[in-house]
Structure 1
Amino acid sequence: MTETLRTARDEDAAPAGRFPSFSEGVRTWARIAALSFGGPAGQIAVMHRILVEEKRWLGEKRFLHALNFCMLLPGPEAQQLAVYIGWLMHRTAGGIVAGVLFVLPGLVAIMALSVIYALYGNVGFVQGLFFGLKAAVLAIVFEAVLRIGRRALRNATMVSLAAASFIAIFVFAVPFPLIIAAAGLIGYIGGLRRVAAFSGGGHGPAAKAGVDDARTVLGETIPAHARPGGTRALTVAGVLLVLWLAPTAALLAAFGTGNVFADIAVFFSQMAVVTFGGAYAVLAYVAQEAVGTYGWLAPGEMLDGLGMAETTPGPLIMVTQFVGFMGAFRDPGTLSPLTAGILGGLLTTWVTFSPCFLWIFLGAPYVERLRDNRGLAAALSAITAAVVGVILNLAMWFALHVVFGEVGTFERFGMKLAVPELESARPVAAALSVLAVLAVFRLRWGMMTVLGLSAVAGVVLQLAGLGV
């Protein structure tokens, strides 16, 4: 009986009066930020444990409802969930503090590692460290393919969408935004026509709560500022829109296209509105553009940046800061390379994360309307399925550049297919990657354990003359 009462109390949304003081909220968000390792799954688990189970500031249903909304949005869902809950408890200021604190540890850590990488990347110890991390990251990305695939590919239609997505991007180099748009349109039409394959919309853990639960969560218990209506949300959203786009417009006006800072601002602003499916889904797109179109990185360096992001707190998409840093570092113009790199990294972070606050402050009061929309729910299901194919492309792209030193391109009949140079094979890298895959899939070791042991192995192999 006691357990039943406790469960019922957990599932009720906490009234506004039970929310913490602002100062206590700030301390808690700082703690969550410091513990936010392990990618979005780990970060969401940390928030759930602290906010729902330990602090009991939110009920289970309200937490899942907020998460489900954040997974509908482009951008890092864990960071947006922090913004949402911070906003729910303490208005705009609470959302800003929660979102900024969530990103800040990763920003500082990735910036420091980027400086070390740019200045000392050829040092044997540093090379060995990232040599080992690449193998672990490869295993983690393959694990992400299976994890998301189990959730998203619930019928033959979804499997077909994933396969078509993989073929389109891996074989024909179709742009990622076009794949997402096509999948969303297919799902939207299928949802409106009540096609069975697209029914049961929603995705991720929150989908288990269902739309009816989502309606129960909000009810009349939410604070007044979290209800639709009024001009405050529009005003805040307008300010955020200007803060996001004004630097991009100013850089374009001052330097035009072709300047590294203008290119960074435009590219990552565009990316911020198409990054459905989380960081893994967009990394292949970012990697291919950063390497092939802009020349900001060498192929294997994207793996190095991902290794940094995997081993530091904060959103995995923080790897984009490394991309912006290296791009500006190598094309500094009249600035010193280090100054240009730091400014490029900060600019990348700004245009990547500013939209996250905009989506939450503008859209959160209308969550119920979004969740009730049959076409939108079906569109998200189709997009999630397509994202599985995109992540598989990322895994294959990474695998080729880990195992082979040279990867060419076969271009014929409309295809643009990556083909490895067999004589450039790296047996040691392949063996280390296989061991990392076995550790993840067979031994069920945690991500941090695999990353740490792989990094140590990489250093040892490099010092022994068997590394890169």
Structure 2
Amino acid sequence: MSETTAGPRYTLWQMVRYMLRLGTLGFGGPVALVGYMQRDLVEEREWISQEDYKEGLALAQIAPGPLAAQLGIYMGYVHYRVLGATLAGIAFVLPSFLMVLALGWAYVRFNGLPWMQAVFYGVGAAVIGIIAMSAKKLTQKSIGSDRLLWAIYLLLVVVTVITESELAWMFIASGILVWLLRAPPKWLARGSVQAAALTQAPMAGSLIGAMDVSLLAQIGIFFAKAGAFVFGSGLAIVPFLYGGVVADNHWLNDRQFVDAVAVAMITPGPVVITVGFIGYLIAGLPGACVAALATFIPCYLFTVIPAPYFKKYGRLPGVLAFVDGITAAAIGAITGSVIVLARRSIIDIPTALLALVTVVLLWRFKKLQEPAIIVAAALAGLVLYPLLRA
């Protein structure tokens, strides 16, 4: 009997406390965060079954919005439904939101954060080591020795490295492929009217965005579109944000936008929380709150609304095969993103050494906490960066 049927081995408040801790200390972006959830909730605490975790990961991949936040919401939903999903989501996002608010205030107050480049120099390299180890563990646990899943996994690694983006349609196609090969349906349903209507949603969002509204309303509409229509994890949202924030609306300049992305990488929790920093630079505290709410409410809805159907039909052979295919594709894309990010963060010998040392430490010392590595890497960056740029 599954964990879900037998009942939870933890209280709702234990899950909330865990999400608060993960949101406060979980460095490394979406790749690392989904790895932490598997390690902590599935393997060590055994609060969540492997099947429930895989369902949550699959749902987070096929729905638009930030991967780690959606998976965290689903982890809260597994045993405590809507209340658990709501509290887990808030607990996961709130700590990093408060951090970017503080950084936004300091950025405006002191006219930029020149030290950020030095910190990011060290942290960026260490993060590569952290997410590489997370990707390795995810691959071992979820792919195993299955040849079909390995083929899908490797294909997505290559595609992600070449395109430097995560293609949502490939996740869905992978799920359908495994479904058709391993549990072929007796009949195939035709596309529904609702599905056709969803294809028009981005166009409707564009029409709304063209209306003459106040600045806060413009911020809300733009970031709601970012949360509702951008697929992929972590930095996948960055090109969309750049187009709207810098190129179209001219709310920020290039330097400010790059600093906003750096803030996302040096703070724990979901990378997408950079929307709070951007919103603060545009319109202060109200702008930050509107941008964050508009971005995360769609991903919350895209997780909670379909979740009951995942729970009800998730044990059917066809659904299990579909989830296996999407999971293999998702982990392949995550592994590919490690290589993409490494190209940008490992720029010289010192950063390569920092990444290598991080991998060795995590491999050798299983109980070593990632925040300790992040702090050490930040200090190394503050020392090394000025010397190398002198």
TM-score by length of 2: 0.70
Q: Which residue of the partner structure matches residue 79 of structure 1?
A: 73
CA contact (8 A) 2:126 2:374 kept: yes
2:370 maps to 1:447: yes
Q: Which residue of the partner structure matches residue 199 of structure 1?
A: none
Q: Which residue of the partner structure matches residue 371 of structure 1?
A: 315
CA contact (8 A) 2:345 2:351 kept: yes
Q: Which residue of the partner structure matches residue 427 of structure 1?
A: 349
CA contact (8 A) 2:52 2:78 kept: yes
Larger Rg computed on CA atoms: 1
2:304 maps to 1:360: yes
Q: How many residues align?
A: 344
Residue 163 of structure 1: how far off its partner (Å)? 2.1
Unmatched 5+ stretches in structure 1: 1-7, 54-59, 195-244, 276-281, 310-315, 330-336, 405-425
CA distance in structure 2 between the aligned counterparts of 1:191 and 1:119, rounded to whole angstroms: 59
2:228 maps to 1:305: no
CA contact (8 A) 1:138 1:398 kept: yes
Q: Which residue of the partner structure matches residue 283 of structure 1?
A: 234
Residue 454 of structure 1: how far off its partner (Å)? 0.9
CA distance in structure 2 between the aligned counterparts of 1:435 and 1:253, rounded to whole angstroms: 50
Counterpart of 1:451 in structure 2: which amino acid? I
Unmatched 5+ stretches in structure 2: 27-32, 61-66, 186-201, 247-251
Give the 3 Å change call, closer, same or farther, for CA 30–371 of structure 1 in structure 2.
closer
Higher relative contact order (CA 8 A, sep 6+): 2
Counterpart of 1:402 in structure 2: which amino acid? S
2:315 maps to 1:394: no
Q: Which residue of the partner structure matches residue 252 of structure 1?
A: 209
Residue 146 of structure 1: how far off its partner (Å)? 1.0
- CA RMSD, aligned part only? 4.3
2:374 maps to 1:384: no
Give the 3 Å change call, closer, same or farther, for CA 303–19 of structure 1 in structure 2.
closer
Alignment of 1:43-62 (within 5 A): 43=37
Give the 3 Å change call, closer, same or farther, for CA 164–341 of structure 1 in structure 2.
farther
SS at match of 2:388: coil
Q: Which residue of the partner structure matches residue 124 of structure 2?
A: 134
2:183 maps to 1:192: yes
Residue 390 of structure 1: how far off its partner (Å)? 1.5
Give the 3 Å change call, closer, same or farther, for CA 63–366 of structure 1 in structure 2.
same
CA distance in structure 1 between the aligned counterparts of 2:293 and 2:271, rounded to whole angstroms: 9
Give the fraction of aligned pairs with identical amino acids, expressed as a percent.
15
Residue 455 of structure 1: how far off its partner (Å)? 1.4
Residue 452 of structure 1: how far off its partner (Å)? 1.8
Q: Which residue of the partner structure matches residue 31 of structure 1?
A: 17
Counterpart of 1:369 in structure 2: which amino acid? Y
Residue 105 of structure 1: how far off its partner (Å)? 2.5
TM-score by length of 1: 0.60
Give the 3 Å change call, closer, same or farther, for CA 66–432 of structure 1 in structure 2.
closer
Q: Which residue of the partner structure matches residue 319 of structure 1?
A: 271
CA distance in structure 1 between the aligned counterparts of 2:263 and 2:362, rounded to whole angstroms: 19
Residue 349 of structure 1: how far off its partner (Å)? 4.3
CA distance in structure 1 between the aligned counterparts of 2:153 and 2:59, rounded to whole angstroms: 20
Residue 84 of structure 1: how far off its partner (Å)? 3.9
CA contact (8 A) 1:268 1:352 kept: yes
Counterpart of 2:308 in structure 1: which amino acid? A
Counterpart of 1:107 in structure 2: which amino acid? F
Q: Which residue of the partner structure matches residue 104 of structure 1?
A: 94
CA contact (8 A) 1:190 1:375 kept: no
CA distance in structure 2 between the aligned counterparts of 1:174 and 1:130, rounded to whole angstroms: 22
Q: Which residue of the partner structure matches residue 380 of structure 2?
A: 457
1:347 aligned residue (283, 287, 291): 291
CA distance in structure 1 between the aligned counterparts of 2:171 and 2:159, rounded to whole angstroms: 11
Q: Which residue of the partner structure matches residue 169 of structure 1?
A: 160
SS at match of 1:35: helix
CA contact (8 A) 1:142 1:395 kept: yes
Could you give the per-residue CA deviations for residues 179-236 of structure 1, whole angstroms, max 9, x where no partner exists? 2232222222223349xxxxxxxxxxxxxxxxxxxxxxxxxxxxxxxxxxxxxxxxxx
Counterpart of 2:130 in structure 1: which amino acid? I
CA distance in structure 2 between the aligned counterparts of 1:186 and 1:167, rounded to whole angstroms: 18
Give the 3 Å change call, closer, same or farther, for CA 434–115 of structure 1 in structure 2.
farther
Counterpart of 1:397 in structure 2: which amino acid? V
Residue 138 of structure 1: how far off its partner (Å)? 1.0
In terms of fraction of residues, the more helix-rich structure is 2
CA distance in structure 2 between the aligned counterparts of 1:188 and 1:158, rounded to whole angstroms: 12
Residue 325 of structure 1: how far off its partner (Å)? 3.4
Give the 3 Å change call, closer, same or farther, for CA 106–123 of structure 1 in structure 2.
closer
Could you give the per-residue CA deviations for residues 327-358 of structure 1, whole angstroms, max 9, x where no partner exists? x56xxxxxxx4526862564244433444356
CA distance in structure 2 between the aligned counterparts of 1:366 and 1:166, rounded to whole angstroms: 26
Residue 120 of structure 1: how far off its partner (Å)? 5.3
